[in-house]
Amino acid sequence: MAIEDQIFRLSGPRDLTRVDWKNAAHVRSVVACLVQCVYVLELDRQKERKGDKALAPPWCETFGFKLKRTLKDNVSSSIFGPSIFGAIFECKPPTSSCNHSAVGPRFVVAFRGTLFKKESLVRDIRLNFQVILNKLHSSSCCQTAIQAVKDLVATAGDSREVWLAGHSLGSAIALQTGKNMTIKEVYLESLLFNPPYPSVPTEKIESETVKRACHLAKSGLRAGLALATQSSEQREHSASSFAALFPWVPKLFVNKKDDFCSEYIGYFKHGKWMLKHGFENFHNFASQYSVRSMVFKSENGAQAEPLYLIPSANLTINSKPTKCLRSAHCLSQWWRQDQELESKVYKY
């Protein structure tokens, strides 16, 4: 990350001086900046920038938030020490020059994505592989995040006051945390920027007919493997776990040209098409499984739960042309106002 990207006055939304929590654009911008703050907190740690030299504070304090606690990867074997992968921010608008209208979150728990710096890159890559293998839930980062959120909800007393946010790998951690809380019937407001969907990039196919055929083939393959490899008890467990997620509607922000997350577009559009044409039962069954979840099993032989498969979402798509994959995957696009955004709620 270039030094310019870390400095709020050069890269942040400086014109946002009044936060309206009923305005979707304001909410998206502020929460994206809090996620950016986590990136810069880790870079401040690596560069030993403290006090007046620290670059992270403006990314949260400009909008009336204070850093309550950092979340560190406590099993990191790096000689550089445990990295900061998340942070808890508390909203205290009276101390800020940024005015607030309507009621927003009291706490936001945000998680960063991969940092291409030697001090944290090896650990981040390992976590990304765990995402691909559907094993992120067993990582120390996820366990730390889940426990921190449980404690925070208990402290707040009202789960509506606690929000989750993340970018890229951080979105995966937030998603796993949100799913864990949802199973306990605690539904947290969640904003996930460029959440990873590890799959064959079907969205790159231009022909809608061919694309539809690919989605149908993948659904058939998943359903066939599930019937062939899962016992009736396992299928009932998967159906129950998947159904428990229906009430939770996380906000997903994806770029049409981002191969890391664009498959969410096809996943939800295909689901809508299946329901429209009377294949509701088939869709609900097939959408619970991924091929990897049935191939890569945990050490005890249990099925690895597919993290990225969820039944409901408020999906926002950025269709503005980008120069490269890096631009399509960048966090800064979500606080800029010159994007081409379209949102739709998918809830089955």
Q: What are phi and psi of 244, to 5 degrees?
A: -65, -20
pLDDT at 243: 86
B/e letters for 29-44, b = 16+ CB within 10 Å, e = fewer, are: bbbbbbbbbbbbbbbb
- CB atoms under 10 Å from CB of 210, counted, come to 11
91: β partners: 65
Contact 257, 330 (CB under 8 A): no
CA angle 268, 104, 320 (to 5 degrees): 40
pLDDT at 95: 53
Q: List Cβ neighbours of 2 (8 Å cut-off, separation of 6 or more).
A: none
Q: What is the DSSP string of 209-272?
A: HHHHHHHHHHHHHHHHHHHHH--HHHHHHHHHHHHHTTT---EEEEETT-TTTTHHHHHHHHHH
Report DSSP state, residue 87.
E
Total domains in the fold of the chain: 1
CA angle 176, 196, 337 (to 5 degrees): 105
Residue pLDDT, tens place only, 10-43: 999 988 988 999 999 999 999 999 999 999 999 9
Q: What are phi and psi of 29, to 5 degrees?
A: -65, -45
Residue pLDDT, tens place only, 79-104: 677 899 999 999 986 655 577 777 88
| CA–CA dist 110, 23 (Å, integer) | 20
pLDDT at 268: 92
pLDDT at 296: 62
SS3 24: helix
pLDDT at 201: 80
Domain range for 156: 3-346
pLDDT at 97: 59
Residues in the chain with pLDDT < 50?
A: 77, 299-301
Q: What are phi and psi of 284, to 5 degrees?
A: -60, -35
Sign of the C-alpha dihedral, residues 245, 248, 254, 260? Answer: negative
Contact 171, 113 (CB under 8 A): yes
pLDDT at 236: 84
Reported pTM: 0.91
SS3 121: helix
| CA–CA dist 124, 116 (Å, integer) | 9
Amino acid at 252: L
Question: In 93-157, which ranges are E strands?
Answer: 99-101, 107-111
CATH at 342: 3.40.50
